[in-house]
């Protein structure tokens, strides 16, 4: 499976600020490009925290992109995937309510029976009998479902998981031209051990301006 990870950060490395409102990092032009890349993938994955805070729909809104997917024999939208240990996601969120294509929830044995039952009414629920979920478990299961390309967006926790397990083929990193400057705001990743460090540098394929945002493309394989 090809795994493309996409993230947008401020120039000082933050994914968001500490306010209750979503911080807009990408330019409109950058969003258009991200939506196009999403539409070319079989599935898109976000963390439960992203669903709780941003309530994204993750649907293909462009009629042109929808037509291209249908022409290729695909559903209008990529399969929507999320990871949650506790199952603390509202079944009424846009993730579940918007779009007619498959939604998949990966959870652990920590999920309560009532939350699992509620989620099974709106999605496919795969409960791993483990205390934690790994990126490898998710990718392996998606492959059995015929998914050949996965678009991953984070959440620091999701990005840390995929980076630390070295399950990323390509990284698309957008850098907004402003500072956040808040110590408690979420950064790109949490602390961890990563295969790409000072002794093993990632390969930068290209850079370009998309609106007022600088976008860096890395190959990690």
Number of Cβ within 10 Å of residue 22's Cβ equals 13
Q: Which helix (H) or strand (E) holds 172?
A: strand 170-175
3-state secondary structure of 153: strand
> At 75, which CATH number?
3.40.430.10
Is residue 106 within 8 A of residue 128, CB to CB? The reply is yes
- Output DSSP code: residue 155: -
- Provide the number of structural domains found in the chain: 1
pTM to 2 decimal places? 0.95
Range of the domain at 34: 2-219
The pair of structure tokens assigned to 44 is 């898109």
Kindly give the confidence (pLDDT) of every residue in the chain, 221 residues in length, as a single tens digit, with 9 standing for 90 and above.
Answer: 999 999 999 999 999 999 988 899 999 999 999 999 999 999 999 999 999 999 999 999 999 999 999 999 999 999 999 999 889 999 999 999 999 899 999 999 999 999 999 999 999 999 999 999 999 999 999 999 999 999 999 889 999 999 999 999 999 999 999 999 999 999 999 999 999 999 999 999 999 999 999 999 999 98
Give the pairing of strands 170-175 and 2-9.
parallel
């Amino acid at each position: 499976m090809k795994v493309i990870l996409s993230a947008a950060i401020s120039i000082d490395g933050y994914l968001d600020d500490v306010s209750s409102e979503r911080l807009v990092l990408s330019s409109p032009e950058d969003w258009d490009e991200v939506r196009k890349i999403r539409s070319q993938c079989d599935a898109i994955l976000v963390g439960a925290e992203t669903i709780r805070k941003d309530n994204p729909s993750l649907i293909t809104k462009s009629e042109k992109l929808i037509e291209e997917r249908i022409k290729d024999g695909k559903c209008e939208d990529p399969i929507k995937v999320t990871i949650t240990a506790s199952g603390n996601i509202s079944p009424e969120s846009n993730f579940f309510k918007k779009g007619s294509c498959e939604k998949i929830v990966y959870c652990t044995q920590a999920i309560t029976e009532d939350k699992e039952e509620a989620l099974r009414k709106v999605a496919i629920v795969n409960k791993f009998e483990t205390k934690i979920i790994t990126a490898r478990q998710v990718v392996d299961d998606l492959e059995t479902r015929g998914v050949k390309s996965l678009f991953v967006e984070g959440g620091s926790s999701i990005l840390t998981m995929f980076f630390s397990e070295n399950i990323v083929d390509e990284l698309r990193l957008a850098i907004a031209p402003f500072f956040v400057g808040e110590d408690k705001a979420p950064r790109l990743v949490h602390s961890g051990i990563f295969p790409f460090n000072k002794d093993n540098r990632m390969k930068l394929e290209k850079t370009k301006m998309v609106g007022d945002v600088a976008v860096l493309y890395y190959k990690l394989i």
